[in-house]
Amino acid sequence: MVSVGIVGASGYTGAELLRLCAQHPEFDVQYATGDTQAGTLARVLYPSLAAAYPNLVFQEFDAARAQEMDLVFLGLPHEASLEVVPQLVGKVRCVVDLSAAYRLKDAASYPQWYGFTHTQPALLAQAVYGLPELFRPELVDANLIATPGCFVTAASLALTPLVRSGTIEATGIIVDAASGVSGAGRSLKHSSLFSTVDEDFTAYGLLDHRHTPEIEQVTGAQVLFTPHLAPMNRGILATCYARPSQKTPTTASLLAELARFYSKEPFIVVGKTSPSTKATLGSNSVHLTARFDERTGYVMVIAALDNLAKGASGGAVQSANVALGLPETMGLSQVGMYP
C-alpha cells in the first residue's frame, strides 16, 4: 500500500481526492490537513465521505508528519504550495501539487499572471507537468508533479494534436470555455453565491486570465482565452477555434487525426457527438469532437470534462499512478454518472 497525505484536504479538490483515494486499491490516506477546519471530522464537512472515512479528522499541517508519507497531494493556494513543496521534495517519494505554483516554466511569468515572485526556480525546473496524455514519459518516477489547470486540461487536449501536426495555425487561436462554480473553490464569495450564479452566465478574466500562459506553454500556440461561469456545480466545456494551415482539412479528417492521436488513451473519447459536461460527471474522461466549417474556414474543436475530476484531482491521481509505476487507470472511472 502507498501511504497518502492530503495537505489542504478540506477544499473541494481535497474532498475529491479523498473520494478517489477511497476507491483506489493501493492508496491509504493516513494524513489529511485543513488548517481552517482543524479538529473537524471530514464526514461533518462532507457527509458524502462518511462511509469511507468515519473517523478521519482534519489536522493542522505538520511537515514532519507529511514527510512520513509515500505520496503527498497538495490542495493549497499557490503561494502556500510554493512554501510547502521544498519541505517535502526529497523527503517523500512523490509530491503532486494541484496549485499553479510549479506549472509555468518561466519563473518571470509569475508576477504578471499570479502576483507573486517565484522563489524556487530549481524546483520549478524539476517539476513535471501532470498531463499523462501529452507528457507520460517525463512522469515516470517523477518526484514533483504540477497538476494542470482545469481549463488548461480541456483546451490542451483539444488543440495540441492539431498544433503538433501542423493541421492548424499556431497563432490566433480562440478558446471559449465555461466552468462550473466548484472551480472557484469552497471559500465564501459573492461571485459564487447561489443567488449570484443561478440563472446567470457570465464571462470573466477578460484578456488576462492566468490560465492563458499555461495553455500557450502546453500547446505551443498563441491563444485568446475567455472563461465563463456557468450555473452548474461541476464541469468544463471548451470550444476552440483555429485557422487551418495550408492544407484544408475536413470534419472527417480532423476526427480521424484526433482518434489516431488518442487511440491508446483510456480516458479520451473522440466522436461525432457534441460533448456534454454531464456525460463526464464524476469520471476521469474527456470527450472530444471536431468540425471544419467550409463557409468560414475555421476549425472547431470541443472538449468536455469534470473540472474536479480529470481537471484537478482525477488528473492528479492519474499522474501519481504513472509516477509510482501503478496501472494508470487505477482508482479512476471512465464512466460518468448519469442522469
**pLDDT per residue as tens digits for the range 64-120:** 999 999 999 999 999 999 999 999 999 999 999 999 999 999 999 999 999 999 999
Closest CA to 97 of 134, 71, 119, 67: 71
In this predicted structure, the answer to whether residue 249 has a pLDDT above a threshold of 90 is yes
- Quickly state the pLDDT bin for 25 (edges 50, 70, 90): very high
- Quickly state the pLDDT bin for 247 (edges 50, 70, 90): confident
Q: Which of 110, 126, 142 is the last residue of a domain?
A: 126
Same domain, 96 and 165: no
- Tell if the pTM clears 0.85, that is, is over it: yes
- Quickly state the pLDDT bin for 315 (edges 50, 70, 90): very high
Same domain, 78 and 159: no
Please tell me the distance from the alpha carbon of residue 223 to that of residue 114, in angstroms, as a whole number. Answer: 18
Same domain, 34 and 162: no
Work out the average pLDDT over 329-336.
Answer: 97
Work out the average pLDDT over 288-303.
Answer: 98
As annotated, the active-site residues are 150
- Quickly state the pLDDT bin for 35 (edges 50, 70, 90): confident
Same domain, 112 and 258: no
- Quickly state the pLDDT bin for 197 (edges 50, 70, 90): confident
- Quickly state the pLDDT bin for 196 (edges 50, 70, 90): confident
Work out the average pLDDT over 295-299.
Answer: 97
Work out the average pLDDT over 47-52.
Answer: 98
Lowest mean pLDDT among 21-25, 186-190, 322-326: 186-190
Plot region of 81 (φ>0 → left; ψ -120 to 50 → alpha; else → beta)? alpha
Determine phi and psi for 262, rounding to 5 degrees: -105, 20
Q: Which domain holds residue 221?
A: 150-307
First to last CA, the chain: 34
Same domain, 183 and 78: no
Asked, for residue 324, whether it belongs to a domain, the answer is no
In this predicted structure, the answer to whether residue 195 has a pLDDT above a threshold of 80 is no
Question: The cell 483539444 sits on which residue?
Answer: 158
- Quickly state the pLDDT bin for 207 (edges 50, 70, 90): very high
Work out the average pLDDT over 132-149.
Answer: 98
Same domain, 300 and 154: yes
Same domain, 9 and 94: yes
- Quickly state the pLDDT bin for 198 (edges 50, 70, 90): confident
Asked, for residue 319, whether it belongs to a domain, the answer is no
Work out the average pLDDT over 39-56.
Answer: 97
Same domain, 80 and 163: no
In this predicted structure, the answer to whether residue 186 has a pLDDT above a threshold of 80 is no
Asked, for residue 144, whether it belongs to a domain, the answer is no
pLDDT of residue 238: 98
Asked, for residue 283, whether it belongs to a domain, the answer is yes
CATH code of the domain covering residue 179: 3.30.360.10
pLDDT of residue 189: 78
Question: The cell 461561469 sits on which residue?
Answer: 229
Q: What is the mean pLDDT of the chain?
A: 96
pLDDT of residue 232: 94
pLDDT of residue 157: 98
pLDDT of residue 191: 78
pLDDT in tens, 267-284: 999 999 999 999 999 999
Question: Pairing between strand 223-229 and 173-179?
Answer: parallel
Work out the average pLDDT over 149-163.
Answer: 98
Looking at the structure of the chain, the number of domains it has is 2
Same domain, 161 and 58: no
Q: Do 73 and 98 contact (CB within 8 A), yes or no?
A: yes
- Quickly state the pLDDT bin for 185 (edges 50, 70, 90): confident
Same domain, 174 and 291: yes
In this predicted structure, the answer to whether residue 40 has a pLDDT above a threshold of 80 is yes
CATH code of the domain covering residue 89: 3.40.50.720
In this predicted structure, the answer to whether residue 204 has a pLDDT above a threshold of 80 is yes
In this predicted structure, the answer to whether residue 187 has a pLDDT above a threshold of 80 is no
- Distances in Å between the alpha carbon of 229 and those of 74, 152, 179, 234, 253? 25, 15, 5, 11, 32
